[in-house]
Structure formats: structure tokens, C-alpha cells
A and B are shown apart, each in its own frame.
Chain A
Amino acid sequence: MSGSTPKQTVGALPDTTTDSPFVPVALTWLTWSLFAASLAALFGRVRLGFAPEVPGVVAVDGLTVLMWVVVAFFSGIVHSYSRRYMAGSANETEFFLAVFGFSIAVMALVAADHVALFGALWLAMGLLMAKLIGVVSGWEQARAAAAVARRSFLASSALLGVALAALWWATGATTVSGIAASADALGGPVWLLAAVALVLAAMIQSALVPFHGWLLSSMTAPTPASALMHAGFVNAGGVLLLRFAPVVTVDERLMLAIVAVGAASALLGKLLKSVRADVKSKLACSTSGQMGFMIMQAGLGFFGAAITHLVLHGFYKAYQFLGSGQLVERTSPEKKARRATGGSGVADVAVMLLTGLAGGAAFVLLTGKGTSVDSGLLLVLFVVFTTLHAARSAVRHVSLPASVRYGAIPLVFLPAITVYALVYKGVSGLLTGVPVASAPTELTALHGLVAVAFLAAYVAIEAGVHERSRRLYVALLNAGQPSPGTVLTNANEYDNGGAQ
């Protein structure tokens, strides 16, 4: 007990120095400045009609300022997070440069009006994301994963190039807005070529099934880059469809096709997810499904809803990725056997149904979606399902006090739906200047089919009937595998680029 006498040190370790490298600090600061500027632009847009343009090259509209705010926010979060998360990484500077460059490319893309600029930025965005997937450049599998992604993005850029060239040829316009303005006159094989190429480019970008391979092979990217990928990059498919909405809405049959591919991916993504054992590929399958849903919303003609979905999904998925390390838990094999038993009484069923209907009603009243008999009804159906399902899960827990069992879901969901409605309204308001933000389509047999497919999936998953098929299990397991060359089977090949 020697009080304050300095003790003799034996074998002291070196203190760690915190020299903050210049690039990350500067870029983080710059990104948050961009966020502030984007907020100012948003404010300017809403209050003062801020809409600067360089005719023929750049045009700022509601979608532009909205995406500026969103992208700058995600980018700022990723920058700030990575300042600590990536500290000491051998590839830190390269990583920050690529993240910043990517953010700038996306922000420029949403403002680009000239088709050549639009196409070039689309390509740049893809190449920078591929760079991030392979940023740990000494590692063979990371390079392979980057190559897989690069091939996909080059294909989507080529498809976009074809579409843009065809549209230019057909309309004579060299700007996105010009094409949109003269889209009514489009038709015939050139239009079909352009429209199909656009949809395919969007599908690759948004990693819809069957183009989900690159996304499932992208886990060599540092976690924050994945967050940016799932919250920012994949969204560009939706943005593309909205930008060229006048082109894709020319023919209802194409819209139906978009609904079909979106719905298929939404269902398959969820199924693929169910068999995944690792955290990040499970999240990736979920993204594939969520983007399918978003594209489906676009196909239903609700582009505003699609944009809202991709923003909100971005929050959710970025959070899941940045927190992917906390998803390890200690479980017991018996856990699944313990099931809640209630929920079959008359009162229970009544409460469940009422809660579901109330959710749907709130949604209709607040968003205006589903007020007329059109494709919007399908979206209302999803809200009813969600609240109904939540209410059902809660009501079954007889151990809870009645007030919680019956009251919690309405209490949580009605405000949540309100918040969603506010966001949706805000987004729709911003998009009013965009040529086609909302084009509900007539209900067709296919819409009914989609509704039935989701209903069937709901029942099947609740009852677990699909789990009887071994063939389906193996097919899903295989379809969710990353590209073989991107898998690290020999730890010797791992190299993080450090000196050791």
C-alpha cells in the first residue's frame, strides 16, 4: 500500500497512439456538410421552389433533393461509424475515398439530366461499389467477389446504355427529362427493347432474383460498406424506374410484368433467407426480397410508395448490418418447441381481425392509397396482413396481462402507420413535379394472383407445410450460395493487408 509513490514498471507495453489520418476526418466532415447543404436544398425546394438546372445537363427536382438528403445521411452515418470501426485498417484511406466517391456519384446521378452523364454516373457508381467489395485487395476471395460484382454492374450499365441509346434514337431527346416528355409517342419494338433493358438494369441493380448472385457474394466488403450497399446502392433500381416512369408506364402489360418479377423476388427472397445460417447472407436475401417488394410497388404504379419503401428499408437494413455483430446468441434446441397456445377464442379472433382492419383503415385514410378500386388495394392488403399477424402473435401469449395482449399492437402500430403515412405524404409531396409519380393501374387477374400467392405463402409458412419438401430445401440452400471462388475454404488465403 504504497500510496502515490510511483511504482516501478516492468515490461510496459507501448501506448497506442491515436493519430487520426487526415482523409477519413476530412471526408467525414465534408459528408456531413453535404448533408446540411442537402437539408437546405430540401427546405429551399419545399418553401421556395428551389430547382436549379443547367439545361440539357443537370436538373434538380423533388426526387433529387430527397435522394440528396437520404444518401448524404446514410453516407454520413457510414463515415462516422467507420471512423471508429475501420480505425487501424490497412485499407482505411482507400475505403473512405471509395465510400465518399460512391456517395458523390449517387448524388450526381439523381441530378443528372443528360443521358450520357446519367449512364456514365451509373457505371461509376457500380465500379466504385465493386471497388468497395474488393477493398481488402490482398485477399484473393475479395478480389474474386469484386470481379463477380463488377461483371454484374457492367452488364447493368450495358443494358442501361442500350435503353438510353434506343430512347434517344426513338425520341431524339438527349436528356432524361426530354425523353420523359416525349414518352407518350413511344411504342413498338424500339420501345420494348428500351423498356425491357431498363427493367433488367433495375433488376440487376436491386439484386432481384435471379440476379441476386452478386449481392450474396459481396460479404468481403467491410461491414459499413455493406450497410451503404443495402441502404443506398440497391435503391438505384427504384430510382431508375421512377426517372423513366413515363417510358415504363406506356404499356400496362409491362407494368404487370414488373409486378410479377417484383412479387416473385419478394417471395423468393424471403424463402432463400429462411435457410441461411450466416448473418450477412440472411440480410442479403432479405434485401433481395425487400427490393422485389419495392419494384412491385413501382409496377403497381405507386412510385412514391416505392421510393418511401426504399428509404425506410435503408434505415432498417443499414441498422441491421452495422449491428450484425450482436446477432450471436446462445440458444437451446428446444426453443422452437415452445409455442404460444392462445389466440383461438372468439374474443381473440375478433380483436385480431379488428386490429388488422383498423390498421388497414388508418392506412387508407392517411395515405389515400386504396381509396379507389385499383392496384392500391393490394398495398392495403399488406398493411392489414402485417397488423393482423402482429396482433395474432401477441394475442397468443396468454401469459401476458390482457391489456398488453390486446392493447399493445394497436398502441404501437397505429402510431407507426401514422409515421409511415407522414413520410409517404412527404415523399409524395416532393415528387409532385416528377412526370409520373403515381399511376395506379387497373386491377387484373394477375393482381389477384399476386394476392393469392402471398396469402398462400402466409398460410404455408405459418403452418410450415413447405418444410416438408427436401427438394425445396436443397434448391433454396443452393440458390443462396455465394459464387464458389469468393468462399474462403483455406484460411491461409485470407490476407487483410497488414504487415503481419
Chain B
Amino acid sequence: MSTHSTIEDGIDDAATTVGSVWPIHSFVTANPLSGFEDMTFGEAVTQATDLLGGRGYPSRETFRMALDDGRIDPERLESALADRGYDADPETLLERVDAGAESGARTDESDADESDTAAERVDTVLAKWLSAFLDEGHATWSMPNREDGFYAAFRELAPHDGEIPDSGVLASLPDTPVETIEAVLEPYPEGQWVPIFEEQLAALPGWTGLIKQRAADGGAWQSACPITLAGYLAVRLALLDGFGVDVEPSTGPDAPDADPTDEVAEAFLSAWEASYRSAVVDRVSAESRKRAESDPSERPDAQLVFCIDTRSEVIRRHIEAAGEYETHGYAGFFGIPMEYRGYDAEVSVDACPPILDAQHRISEVPTDGEAKDRHNRWSSVREVAGEVVKKLKTNPASAFGFVENAGSGYGLALAARTLIPGRVHGLLDTADAAVPDDHEFCDQIVRHQHTHAGDLPVGLTREERVEYAATAFELMGWTEFGRLVAFVGHASETTNNPYDSSLDCGACAGNPGGPNARVLAEICADPDVRAALRDRGFEIPEDTVFLAGEHNTTTDEIELYGDVPESHADDLEGLRADLAAAREDATAERASSMGGDAAASVDETERRAADWAETRPEWGLAGNAGFVVGPRELTSDLDLDGRAFLHSYDWSTDPDGDALEAILTGPMVVTQWINAQYYFSTVDNAVYGSGSKVTHNPVGNVGVYQGNGGDLMTGLPLQSLMAADDEPYHQPLRLSTVVHAPVERVAEALADHEAVVQLLDNDWLSLTVVDPTQEHRAFEYERDMEWRPAPEPAASDPAAADPEAPAAPEREPAPAAADD
């Protein structure tokens, strides 16, 4: 049946423009325009503006502030404008940015005609049914017939819904979604079908994105209550038909015209990015030169491996300053694509980047019986208490009595959490300490069990374990091992925050990274694996002990799990003391960036972690703009202010470029996703972000509404990006990647990866290579695998060549001290 497949293919085609939306409990920072990445950035934002109404470039005010702060180098700006054929004064040109937008796009609603009103009613009815169907256990009485799928359940209930007209296709809905779609589209030529699908899928982009992700991911909820884009579109088109809305697509097959002022905005943006990039590149080149002349360092007391996350940069700097420590950056899932199920966890989670599929199931088994019993006792009491309260609240015969009996207690809690949030943190800590954590009494099942959990094998085979460990050290370019090696994952600690998972590890798909770190440490501790690693050239000394831990990015506390042999007890004790000292320094730096008191910074960050009234518990990855791939020495003398992702890599240990290839196709793509999410959420916080937290209303455990309901909001909330409603914090810049390696090797690594080259060609991110074999000069990737030498640093005075940081005198007491 040909129309059948035409329709299904058409939907698949059209769906590429829909950005996936992950459930909020496992927020994934992804590019909302990922479906447009086969176009240039400029074309993509034009199309997306046309389809979704979102803006693609920062506003005039944002550029104005950046100019005033000296963040955009005037020379670069001039040349960027000149390249695009503008020779007017930048000030004059800046006035043109947004001039079109002010009179256009956003005031469209004023001329709403009858058809628009009817379309709005369709959206309202759909939002009602989607929220009922996609609910993940929030409503106590969920939508009937959900197990039959969205279309069937809707078809069953629609006759009872007085808001749904009894006309058009709705009068008697066909058995299958495709028949319905066919019936509604019958009057339209087939050539218009895909544009119709595109436009209809773009109407409630939040819900559609969630459906797309859910259908593709196929988790437990999808199996229990299946929904497809075809089923959704069928319901949508039937409603449009019933309400008498014309679905004739408003845009023809031709691409929409770009806003001419976008080109000016693009020039400003490029100049701003170039200004930041050149500051980083110049320093990296200089350090590369210096490094070539210096002697190799001595064996460090400990090596700590952190996630490439921008927040690691701050704590790493302070740890290095606290003692003879080496720190490294590696993807925070530690290279292990696992599905993880914690002890007595209700669900298992994919603890790996969304670009990968989980390959192994890692579970936990209790080993310490006494601690396990203590844990179980507490958790079952807590669970039953929760259930009793829930039951009391649900039943009308008991809900009122419950409120009267519990009211006074709520009053006390209300006062305590509002008036003394810092104390509450201490209280919760004490309560937490009474119950042993999973990692204190559980071992992970790391070895292969010859069984499966779902589709996945439980544990890892010996070969896999050796491979994951070797890959880690190859990618980071390790040749030397300290007495202690700690893999440190990260997680955030916040309360009353639906977006908490957006602050967790992005490389673990919005989950804590501690469990992954434990797996790698466990693998490396295995004598069998160590022997195999030795065969592959990694001389791990007998006295090297591997540890795992977790960095709390909200409070900068680093917890190292478990114990070490007697011989290393002093080393560990010293390390723990130094980590505590580093924490004080790191929180002091971060507290002032959040407007807190730097003198009592640990208390301040703990208060933020526990304070239910705090909408900015930490800055997350706000500010991210760069990605440096190379040895830590290139950046260890710099303060990058938590704006750069750092991946350790040593070109000299990677002769065939395999490690580089893995970094450019894995971590670089993930960081670009994260960067694009922050960029678009900032430039249009309503369309690509989720607006202010103060009017958020979580729905169905899957997302957040603004106010009363309607479409799901997507992307990051305003408070994750802005210091105040009118004061930006995140600087919306596309990612600047800087790789320390010979140019040819980078070119070779890229050659086989069309998708990555396409991203670069289409200006979704930039790539600069600092070539240690060519006098440490920098080369910028242009397009089509062409490179051009980067402009040389302007002067000997580094401060002058660093327009990104003119207004931070308190952080830079020795302004012109070249190469300190």
C-alpha cells in the first residue's frame, strides 16, 4: 500500500526538524536544532525561526553589553564586518540588529483570525490529552486504555469529551492512525504532505519532542503506554479537521528568506567568538612552546581524573595548587557505556552519553550484611511512611484529618526551611549519615555474569574490562602512574529543583558520575587487568592504588570512596586534607561569581544546596565557550574561570591518531550539544529555554509548564543562564575547540567522519589546532578540510591581547606580567 508508506516516510522526514526533548528527571543537554545540523548555522536558525518562531542570535542589548565590557575585540569586529561587505561604523550596524524583529515576529498574535483561534483550541485540547497520556505516575487515576497506545486511547475517550466537536473525521475515527491521516490529507497534493507534517509537528514542539524521544528510546513507559508520532499526528489532524482549521502549509517548498540583519548579528557573534578564542589559543601556543623546553615532571603524589565538564576546571586548579597533584580530564562516564541500577533503585538509568547506547548492565550487590540491614530498615520505614501519607492524602475520607494532624509539623518545617536553610543542610547531613550509602555496603557486579538484564549482558568480560581501562589511559596519554589514582565523577546537590539532573553529569545523560568512576577503579584494581595492561605498554607500578569518588559540584566537596591498604593510608589522609583545602578555595571563587560571601564560602554553597528558596544553587556549565584537547600543562597556569571543557590528550603517545579520533567524534560532539543548548536557551529563553523558575509548574514527572499548562517548556531555565532577568551571565558563544596536535593528524582523524566535518563546515563550532611540530603555531579549520594559519598574537603584552578579561582587576593582580 503505497500511500501508507508515503505517509510513514513523510512523517519520518518531517520529524528530523523536531528537537528531542528528554524527560526532566534525566535532562539531557542537547542542541534544540540538532535536526538542522545538515545546514549551515545561518540557514538553520533562519528555518527554525520560520518554523518555531525562536530567535537565532543574541539580542542587540547582549552585543551592546559585550562591546561595552570590551569582550569583542574592535579590530576583529571590523574585519568580521568587512568580510561580509559592511563598512559602516559598528555602532550604526548594531542598531540594525533586531530592528526587524521588533516590528515583526512577536506581534503576529495581534492579527489572529478565526482560524488561529480554532488552532489554539486544538492545541489546548491536545495539550490536555498529551499531559494525561504521557504522565509518568503523577496522577493517581491515569488515563484509561493507555496500554492500547495514544491513538486508540484517544479514539476511545473522544466521544465522551464535550470539548471535541463531532464533525469531520472525528465523527467516526478510522481504526488506524494512517487511515485518519490519509482521510484528512486527501484534499491536498502529496507534495504538500511533508510541509504539512513539519508545520503540525512544530506546533507544540515541547510535547512533540518528548514523543519523538520516547518513541525512539523505547523505555519502560513507552512499552507500557506506547505513542508514535503517527498516532499523535493522526489525532492532531483529526482535531484540526473537526475544528475546521485549514492545514494548507503557510510556507512553500522554498527556503524562507533570511533576515538581512542576521548577517550583521552573525558578524558580531563571530567577532565575539574570535576574541575569546584567540585569548585561549594564544595562551595555549605560548604554554606549548614553554612545555617543549621544560623537563618532564616528577612522579606526582596522586593523580585525579575528572570529567571534562567546565566545572572541573575550577576545582582542578585549586587541587593542583594544594599539593603535588596531577589532574586530568576524561569524559565523565569514564568510557563505560553502562546501564546502572543502584541498590534498591526503582529504575535503572543509562549512565552514558546520549550519543551512545548502553552496552552493559551494572548492578549492585550488598556485601556488608549489618550495614545493609540498617539501610533496609531505614529505607523500608521511609518508604512505608511515604506510602501511608500518600494514601491518607488521596482518600477523601482521610485527607482532611491528615491535614489537621500534620499541619503543625508542616508549619515548623516551613519556618525552618525558609529561615534557617543552612542549618537544615547540617540536619539532613546528620540524618543521611545515619543511613549507610549504597557504595558503603555494596559492590558492583563488574565481572561478566553470563546473564542478561533485559537486552544487556550483566557485567563486563575480561577483554572489555582491559579495553575500557586501556582506552582511558590511551585517550589521556598516560605514561606514568602515581601512588594514588582517583577517578572522580560528579553530581550536583540541590533541592526543590526540577532541573537538578541538568546539573548532573552530562556525559552520564544527566546522572551522577560516581558509579561509573567506581566501575573503572574496580577494573583497574583487578590484577588480571593490570597484567594485560602491562602487555599493552602501560607500566602500572605495584604501589599504585586506584580509587573512585564523586565531586559535588554544588558544594565542591569531593568524597573518595572506600579504603586503601595500610601502606597508602597516609597518602590518602593527606589527599583528603588537601581536597578539603582546595574546596575552600574553589567555593570562595565560585561564591563571588554567585554574589555570595567568599569568606564563608563553604557554608554559602551548602546553604545553596539545601535551600528550597534558592533558584541558582550553582552555575552549572553556564559560561561554557571553549574545549581544550591537550596535556594539562597547556592550561594549568591559566585561570579559565570554569568556561572551558578540558580533555587530557598527548599527541606524542598517539602516533596513529586513534585516541584523537575518539575524542573528536565522542567528547567533542557531546560538548557541542551542551554548548548549543546553553547558546539557544540564552538567545531565546522562551522558545528554546524554559523561562523563569518562579512560575514553573512541573507536569507528569516528565517536564515543566509555564503557569497553567499548554506546551511543555524545553531547555534550560532562565536562572541557569542569567544573573537577573535583565543581566546575562552565560555568554552565548558557539564552542571553540582547541586541539594540541599536528595538523595533518587532526585532518586524518576527521577524514572518515563526515558528520563531524559537516558540523565544522556548517559553523556549529570552530576548531583550532595548535601544532607542536610547526613552531606551536595555530591553524584554524576553515571548511572542506582546509586550514589557515591563525592571526599571530597582536603584541607582547598578553593583557592587551586578551580582550575577554578586561574588567577583572581583582582576579588579575599582576596585569602585564608576561608569562608568570
Residue B92, interface by CB 8 Å:
no
> Which residues from chain A contact B53 at a C-beta distance below 8 Å?
490, 492
Kindly identify, within residues 480 to 500 of chain A, every residue whose CB is under 8 Å from any CB belonging to chain B: 481-484, 486-500
Nearest CB to that of A485 among chain B residues?
B120
Set A136, A223, A328, A390: member contacting B701, Cβ < 8 A: A328
- Do the beta carbons of A386 and B405 come within 8 Å of each other? yes
Distance from A453 Cβ to chain B, minimum over Cβ atoms (Å): 9
Distance from A372 Cβ to chain B, minimum over Cβ atoms (Å): 21
Known A81-B418, A136-B695, A478-B163; contact A329-B398, beta-carbon cutoff 8 A: no
> Which residues from chain A contact B814 at a C-beta distance below 8 Å?
6
Segment of B5-13, B255-263, B456-464, B632-640 engaged in the interface with chain A? B632-640
Distance from A377 Cβ to chain B, minimum over Cβ atoms (Å): 14
- Do the beta carbons of A500 and B722 come within 8 Å of each other? yes
A420–B400 CA distance with the chains assembled, in angstroms: 12
> Which residues from chain B contact A136 at a C-beta distance below 8 Å?
692, 695
A37–B515 CA distance with the chains assembled, in angstroms: 53
Nearest CB to that of A482 among chain B residues?
B708
> Which residues from chain B contact A286 at a C-beta distance below 8 Å?
393, 399
Kindly identify, within residues 604 to 651 of chain B, every residue whose CB is under 8 Å from any CB belonging to chain A: 611-616, 623, 625-626, 636-643
> Which residues from chain A contact B221 at a C-beta distance below 8 Å?
332-333
Distance from B682 Cβ to chain A, minimum over Cβ atoms (Å): 8
> Which residues from chain A contact B320 at a C-beta distance below 8 Å?
1-2
Known A219-B695, A275-B132, A499-B725; contact A386-B401, beta-carbon cutoff 8 A: yes
Residues 358-388 of chain B, each 1 if its beta carbon lies under 8 Å from chain A, else 0: 0000000000000000000000110011011
Nearest CB to that of A327 among chain B residues?
B698
- Do the beta carbons of B711 and A489 come within 8 Å of each other? yes
Set A13, A270, A477: member contacting B643, Cβ < 8 A: A13
Residue A48, interface by CB 8 Å:
no
Known A10-B279, A489-B204; contact A88-B381, beta-carbon cutoff 8 A: no
Residue A432, interface by CB 8 Å:
no
Looking at A4, A9, A218, the one whose CB has the most chain B CB atoms below 10 A away is A9
Residue B85, interface by CB 8 Å:
no
Residue A85, interface by CB 8 Å:
yes
Kindly identify, within residues 251 to 298 of chain B, every residue whose CB is under 8 Å from any CB belonging to chain A: 276, 279-280, 283
A272–B819 CA distance with the chains assembled, in angstroms: 68
> Which residues from chain A contact B160 at a C-beta distance below 8 Å?
470-471, 473-475
A87–B62 CA distance with the chains assembled, in angstroms: 21
A271–B396 CA distance with the chains assembled, in angstroms: 8
Segment of A161-169, A233-241, A456-464 engaged in the interface with chain B? A456-464
Distance from B625 Cβ to chain A, minimum over Cβ atoms (Å): 7
- Do the beta carbons of B418 and A80 come within 8 Å of each other? yes
Residue A280, interface by CB 8 Å:
yes
> Which residues from chain B contact A281 at a C-beta distance below 8 Å?
697, 708-709
> Which residues from chain B contact A333 at a C-beta distance below 8 Å?
136-137, 220-221, 223-225
- Interface size on B (CB < 8 Å)? 163
- Do the beta carbons of B407 and A489 come within 8 Å of each other? no
Residue B762, interface by CB 8 Å:
no
> Which residues from chain B contact A107 at a C-beta distance below 8 Å?
none
Known A329-B25, A494-B691; contact A8-B638, beta-carbon cutoff 8 A: yes
Known A278-B705, A478-B163; contact A492-B686, beta-carbon cutoff 8 A: yes
Residue B694, interface by CB 8 Å:
yes
- Do the beta carbons of B408 and A325 come within 8 Å of each other? no
- Do the beta carbons of A394 and B401 come within 8 Å of each other? no
A80–B726 CA distance with the chains assembled, in angstroms: 23
A455–B397 CA distance with the chains assembled, in angstroms: 7
Residue A220, interface by CB 8 Å:
yes
Nearest CB to that of A297 among chain B residues?
B400
The A interface is mostly helix, strand or loop, or mixed, namely helix
Distance from B648 Cβ to chain A, minimum over Cβ atoms (Å): 16
Residue B413, interface by CB 8 Å:
yes
> Which residues from chain B contact A290 at a C-beta distance below 8 Å?
399-400, 403
Segment of A117-125, A315-323, A436-444 engaged in the interface with chain B? A315-323
A336–B146 CA distance with the chains assembled, in angstroms: 14
Kindly identify, within residues 486 to 530 of chain B, every residue whose CB is under 8 Å from any CB belonging to chain A: 495-498
Distance from A281 Cβ to chain B, minimum over Cβ atoms (Å): 7
- Do the beta carbons of A389 and B395 come within 8 Å of each other? yes
Known A11-B279, A470-B157; contact A87-B615, beta-carbon cutoff 8 A: yes
Residue B411, interface by CB 8 Å:
yes
Segment of B121-129, B182-190, B568-576, B741-749 engaged in the interface with chain A? B121-129
- Do the beta carbons of B707 and A141 come within 8 Å of each other? yes
Known A10-B280, A12-B641, A77-B414; contact A220-B695, beta-carbon cutoff 8 A: yes
- Do the beta carbons of B496 and A309 come within 8 Å of each other? no
- Do the beta carbons of B701 and A330 come within 8 Å of each other? yes
Kindly identify, within residues 656 to 700 of chain B, every residue whose CB is under 8 Å from any CB belonging to chain A: 682, 685-687, 691-700
- Do the beta carbons of A86 and B812 come within 8 Å of each other? no
Residue A105, interface by CB 8 Å:
no
- Do the beta carbons of B496 and A323 come within 8 Å of each other? yes
> Which residues from chain B contact A13 at a C-beta distance below 8 Å?
593, 623, 641-643, 729, 731
- Do the beta carbons of A312 and B695 come within 8 Å of each other? no
Residue A293, interface by CB 8 Å:
yes
> Which residues from chain A contact B23 at a C-beta distance below 8 Å?
330
Segment of A175-183, A201-209, A247-255, A397-405 engaged in the interface with chain B? A397-405
Distance from A79 Cβ to chain B, minimum over Cβ atoms (Å): 9
Residue B560, interface by CB 8 Å:
no
Residue A212, interface by CB 8 Å:
no
> Which residues from chain B contact A244 at a C-beta distance below 8 Å?
none
Distance from B208 Cβ to chain A, minimum over Cβ atoms (Å): 12
Distance from B613 Cβ to chain A, minimum over Cβ atoms (Å): 4
> Which residues from chain A contact B223 at a C-beta distance below 8 Å?
333
A494–B220 CA distance with the chains assembled, in angstroms: 33
Known A486-B707, A500-B722; contact A11-B593, beta-carbon cutoff 8 A: no
Kindly identify, within residues 118 to 165 of chain B, every residue whose CB is under 8 Å from any CB belonging to chain A: 120-121, 123-124, 127-128, 131-132, 135-141, 143-145, 156-157, 160-163
Known A382-B397, A386-B402, A467-B141; contact A394-B408, beta-carbon cutoff 8 A: no
Set A77, A277, A340: member contacting B415, Cβ < 8 A: A77
- Do the beta carbons of A10 and B592 come within 8 Å of each other? no
> Which residues from chain A contact B804 at a C-beta distance below 8 Å?
10-12
Distance from A89 Cβ to chain B, minimum over Cβ atoms (Å): 6
> Which residues from chain B contact A126 at a C-beta distance below 8 Å?
none
Residue B248, interface by CB 8 Å:
no
Nearest CB to that of B276 among chain A residues?
A11
> Which residues from chain B contact A275 at a C-beta distance below 8 Å?
132, 139, 141
- Do the beta carbons of A325 and B496 come within 8 Å of each other? yes
Set A6, A87, A139, A325: member contacting B724, Cβ < 8 A: A87
- Do the beta carbons of A221 and B695 come within 8 Å of each other? yes
Set B138, B414, B700, B798: member contacting A8, Cβ < 8 A: B798
Residue A431, interface by CB 8 Å:
no
Nearest CB to that of A318 among chain B residues?
B414
Residues 220-233 of chain A, each 1 if its beta carbon lies under 8 Å from chain B, else 0: 11110000000000
Segment of A14-22, A186-194, A343-351 engaged in the interface with chain B? A14-22
Distance from A161 Cβ to chain B, minimum over Cβ atoms (Å): 30
Residue A266, interface by CB 8 Å:
yes
A462–B391 CA distance with the chains assembled, in angstroms: 9
Residue B433, interface by CB 8 Å:
no
Residue A311, interface by CB 8 Å:
yes
Residue B820, interface by CB 8 Å:
yes
A2–B11 CA distance with the chains assembled, in angstroms: 58
Nearest CB to that of A78 among chain B residues?
B418
Nearest CB to that of B814 among chain A residues?
A6
Nearest CB to that of A484 among chain B residues?
B124
Mind listing 20 A-B residue pairs with CB under 8 Å? Answer: A10-B640, A15-B808, A16-B595, A17-B595, A139-B707, A223-B694, A274-B394, A289-B400, A290-B399, A312-B404, A322-B612, A328-B498, A387-B401, A397-B380, A413-B405, A461-B394, A484-B124, A488-B705, A488-B711, A494-B713
> Which 5 pairs from chain A and chain B are nearest by CB?
A312-B407, A386-B401, A88-B724, A498-B725, A18-B595
Known A278-B699, A499-B725; further 6 A-B contacts with Cβ < 8 A: A7-B638, A87-B724, A273-B140, A329-B137, A333-B225, A491-B686
